[in-house]
Amino acid sequence: MTALAAIVARDLRLALRQGGGAGIALGFFLTVLVLIPLGIGPDVALLARIAPGTLWIALLLSVLLSADRIFEPDHDDGSLEIMTLGPVPLELIVLAKAAAHWLATALPMAVAAPFFGLLLNLDPALFLPLGLAMLLASLALSLLASLVAAVTVGLKRGGLLLSILTLPLYVPALIFGVAASAGDETLSGSRPAALLILLALVLLALAIAPFAGAAALRAHLR
């Protein structure tokens, strides 16, 4: 137990030391949000309409960009090898790393997203549902991110490769996330269902990511 706590604590401290931890994630989130109006024009109605989708895409991309640091450093400096000598199985280590990533990156963004939505004049009625959905989804995203990070660890030029492998995994989370924070009234009925499915996705990711991730790490180490 202390072993896992130690990993989480260390990763959080490192995230904090190396460029402001959560701050940097939020910064990226903001920069992406700024790009969108610049790209598709300042039409307010249009922006408001696509606001939730935009926030979701920005969230996925931010998680993505931070993903390749989940295992890469530990792999490069040999820490990963030593971790296999520890009292806890690799599966739990993957879980701990995912937790650290969630706390340092995904969670802050999920919490901040609705407020950033203001920039895209997001309908205030959507604050709560959006925040809730993102909170749930971010869990799944971090888990899947660490799964793929484990698969691509040590492959230099991972950035793009990692994205190609991750985004298809993100599709369901994205779809139901958007549904759970859907704007127009006709759909708001389906929100609870979407939330439940999101929850199911989280549990599924929780069931798969640690094992697949650990298997991948073992394959890379041998």
Partner 1 sequence: MQQFANPRRFLKLIDAVEPWAWALTLILLAIGLYLSLVVAPEDYQQGETVRIMFVHVPAAWMALLAYLDMAVASAVAIIFRHPLADIAAKAAAPIGACFTFLALATGSLWGKPMWGTWWVWDARLTSMFVLLLLYLGYIAIWHAIDDPGRAARIAAIVALVGCINLPIIKFSVDWWNTLHQPASVFRIGGPTLHPAILTPLLVMGAAYLALFVTLHLTAIRAEIMARRLRQMELARADEV
Partner 2 sequence: MELVITDLACIRGGRLVFAGLSLRAAGGSLALLRGPNGAGKTSLLRLIAGIAEPDRGRIALHGGDAALTLSQQCHFIGDRDAAKLHLTVAENLRFWGDFLGGGDLDRALDSFGLTALAGLQAAVLSSGQRRRLSLSRLALVARPLWLLDEPTVGLDAQSRQRLVALMTTHLASGGFIVAATHDELGLAGIELNLGEAPARGIAAQ
Binding mask 61-80 for a copy of itself (x = CB under 8 A): xx-xxx-xx---x--x----
Query: By CB under 8 A, which span of 17-25, 60-68, 104-112, 132-140 interacts with partner 1?
Result: 17-25
Q: Give me Rg for the CA atoms of the chain.
A: 18
Helical ranges in the chain per DSSP H: 2-17, 22-40, 44-67, 72-76, 79-83, 90-101, 107-117, 127-151, 158-180, 185-188, 191-221
How many secondary structure helices (H) and strands (E) does the chain include? 11, 0
Is residue 189 part of the contact set for partner 1 (CB under 8 A)? no
Q: How far is the CB of 32 from partner 2 (least distance, A)?
A: 26
Exactly one of 34, 84, 192, 200 binds partner 2 (CB under 8 A); that residue is 84
Here the tokens at position 213 are: 């991730």
- Asked whether 165 and 151 are in contact (CB, 8 A), the reply is yes
- The token duo for 56 is 């979701």
Report the interface residues with a copy of itself, using CB under 8 A: 14-15, 18-19, 24-25, 27-28, 31-32, 34-36, 38-41, 46, 49-50, 52-54, 56-57, 60-62, 64-66, 68-69, 73, 76, 155-157, 159-161, 163-164, 167-168, 170-171, 174-175, 178
